[in-house]
Structure 1
Amino acid sequence: MNATHDTPLPRSIPEYLERLRESLAGADPALVQDALYDAEEYLRAEMAENPGKSEAEVIASVAGSYGAPDEVADIYRDTEVKVQTALRPPAPKPRKSPWGQFFGVIAEPRTYASLFYMLLSLATGIFYFTWVVTGASLSAGLAVLIIGIPFVILFLGSVRILSLVEGRLVEVMLGERMPRRPLYASRGKPWLERIKEMFTDPRTWGTLLYMLLMMPLGIVYFTIAVTGLTLSLSLIAAPVALMLSGTVLVDGVDLASSSQPWTWPLAIGAGVALLFLTLHIARWVGTLHGMLAKHLLVKSAQYS
């Protein structure tokens, strides 16, 4: 692509990144994070291959191949539309009637992905919570020692890596666009300033809060999913088993002898209704949790 010359090219990598951020104003924060990371990686690699050139010279030399900030922003916007269109599952047929909307949830692939996320969130929530509490406790305990600061930096770095892993789970299962690259590192700045930015970056503390919240949320999600599925399937299966065999033993008690046949269709109907209600709850949880993850793990990075 050819660089435009309507505006002067940036003369430094930080200036290039800031111009790129401005050109992507209004875009998805996850897309902005990916674009900034890719741009810095590319420009730093070009600097390493041309040690005798200044940043302004390198930017000018790659403007024709990589592009000026506004051109790169346009390409990322266009590519994002194409990728999201390709990855988006087929849209379900619109259902106008209330019954169609209620029962149509069973035909949506995202329903089952959200349900699986609810079941998985108990394990991930416990892991995230344990990691953060243990890391924070060790960081506080080692603060008086010389290794305290390096340990805190490593701990916060590990938390950022975990946020990327969680972001992939959220994007794949819940459909919320999340970053595919780490937060760009501003490697042109001194080490002390970069360490300071890590502590003052709102996303650092948003990520820690998210991982602490994941354990109680995971318990709630897992409980809702398991209770809803177990109860609804039990209500459906028990009358069917009674009608087929005439005997269903639970703890030595024959349910067939203690229930009336006219209640069996009611139990099946209640089970079906509860099953579809559980699927709707899974969809709602998926949408709301995706918004929470976006706000705590990504959006605050826009203001760093």
Structure 2
Amino acid sequence: MNAPVPRTIAEYLKQLRAALRGADPAMIQDALYDAEEHLRAELAERGDGDEVAMLAEVVGSYGAPEEVAEIYRDQEVTVQRALRTPRTPPRRSLIGRFFGVAADPHTYGALFYMVLAMATGIFYFTWVMAGAGMSIGFSILIIGIPFLVLFIGTVRALSLVEGRIVETMLGVRMPRRPAYADRSLPWLKRIGAMFTDPRTWSTLLYMLLMLPLGVAYFVIMVTGICLSVSLAVAPWIALFVQHAEIGGIYVDGHAWPPHAWHVWMVPVISVIGILLLFTVMHLARGIGHLHGHLAKHLLVRCRESDV
């Protein structure tokens, strides 16, 4: 059953939301923003403010909400294919799956994100704490409310930046457009909607969490990489550079355990280091997967009632 022809921009967007129900929330956010931008540009060009006539023309040119929704669903297939890592030959053996993590580009994206997360976490935490503190301090002055609105606006803008980082490095679909806001409402109601939007507060929570998470990610990554590489390389350096010994106890000039035992341990320790390195890669990929879903849950409207 076809929906009635929308008579206002708000009705058009409502029908578009309904047609996109069940789709990726990030894609829905982008579609609503793009549609509203197009419709309001068309209305501004007409100059008469007649939304009914404008929408009647737009349904024939831009497309009805159901048609636009179908176009976005088709485009999303292409986007998801682009985000997917290149397919590698299937590995059935446990050894193949274990070492195959090195061929996954998202592994290296997650490793780099774990390093970057410490810097972004410090910045986000500082920005939120400083902004919230100054907003509270200015609340007794006339500039308190405008400053708070500006601060919340910057936080929502930073969420888009973080979304682009997450999508690029972790391969999780994130919005490319700001959250949809009904521009037909008076500006006071729009400001009120911004403060009653759960995504505003979940974004603040995400930015506060990024500091402890960023520190933990950085420590795990640096410690794991340094330890594994050291175990893999250091024994060979100790063995061949200047005839160095690998530890041991010396009694009357004789080493115990004997030197031959040390030589036998060199490849064993090196193999342990290599195995640890691949374990760290698996851990990084798992952390990247979990963090991507955390970012999507807190930075995007994921509830069915919101879309």
Aligned to 1:276: 278
Contact 1:201 1:301 in 2 (8 A): no
Give identity over the alignment, percent. Answer: 59
Deviation larger for 238-247 or 17-26: 238-247
User: How big is each residue's C-alpha offset from its partner over 1:213-248, in whole Å with a ceiling of 9 and x where there is no partner?
Assistant: 000000000000000000000001111212332445
Contact 1:241 1:247 in 2 (8 A): no
User: How big is each residue's C-alpha offset from its partner over 1:268-293, in whole Å with a ceiling of 9 and x where there is no partner?
Assistant: 01101110010000000010000000
Q: Which runs of 5+ in 2 are unaligned?
A: 250-258
Distance in 1, matches of 2:122 and 2:303, equals 25
Number of matched pairs: 295
Q: Does residue 65 of the first structure (1) align with residue 61 of the second (2)?
A: yes
Contact 2:21 2:304 in 1 (8 A): no
Distance in 1, matches of 2:242 and 2:272, equals 21
Q: Choose which of 91, 95, 112 in structure 1 pairs with 2:91.
A: 95
User: How big is each residue's C-alpha offset from its partner over 1:55-76, in whole Å with a ceiling of 9 and x where there is no partner?
Assistant: 1111111112111101000000
Q: Choose which of 6, 9, 31 in structure 1 pairs with 2:5.
A: 9
Distance in 1, matches of 2:25 and 2:14, equals 14
Contact 1:203 1:300 in 2 (8 A): no
Aligned to 2:290: 288
Q: Does residue 110 of the first structure (1) align with residue 106 of the second (2)?
A: yes
SS of equivalent residue, structure 2 residue 291:
helix
Contact 2:19 2:66 in 1 (8 A): yes
Aligned to 1:251: none
Aligned to 2:235: 239
5 Å-filtered alignment, 1:130-169, equals: 130-169=126-165
SS of equivalent residue, structure 1 residue 290:
helix
Q: Choose which of 46, 50, 61 in structure 1 pairs with 2:46.
A: 50
Distance in 2, matches of 1:60 and 1:301, equals 31
Q: Choose which of 186, 191, 196 in structure 1 pairs with 2:187.
A: 191
Distance in 2, matches of 1:50 and 1:29, equals 32
5 Å-filtered alignment, 1:32-43, equals: 32-43=28-39
Distance in 1, matches of 2:303 and 2:38, equals 21
Change (3 A) 1:66 1:46: same
Distance in 1, matches of 2:226 and 2:102, equals 17
SS of equivalent residue, structure 1 residue 299:
coil
Change (3 A) 1:303 1:154: farther
Measure how far apart 1:53 and its partner are. Answer: 4.1
Distance in 1, matches of 2:303 and 2:52, equals 27
TM-score normalised by structure 2 residue count: 0.92
Deviation larger for 82-91 or 287-296: 82-91
Contact 1:132 1:208 in 2 (8 A): yes
User: How big is each residue's C-alpha offset from its partner over 1:13-64, in whole Å with a ceiling of 9 and x where there is no partner?
Assistant: 1111111000000000000000000000000101111121411111111112
5 Å-filtered alignment, 1:171-186, equals: 171-186=167-182
TM-score normalised by structure 1 residue count: 0.93
Deviation larger for 26-35 or 238-247: 238-247
Contact 2:160 2:176 in 1 (8 A): yes
RMSD: 1.7
Q: Which amino acid aligns with 2:282?
A: H
Distance in 2, matches of 1:122 and 1:257, equals 39
SS of equivalent residue, structure 2 residue 97:
helix
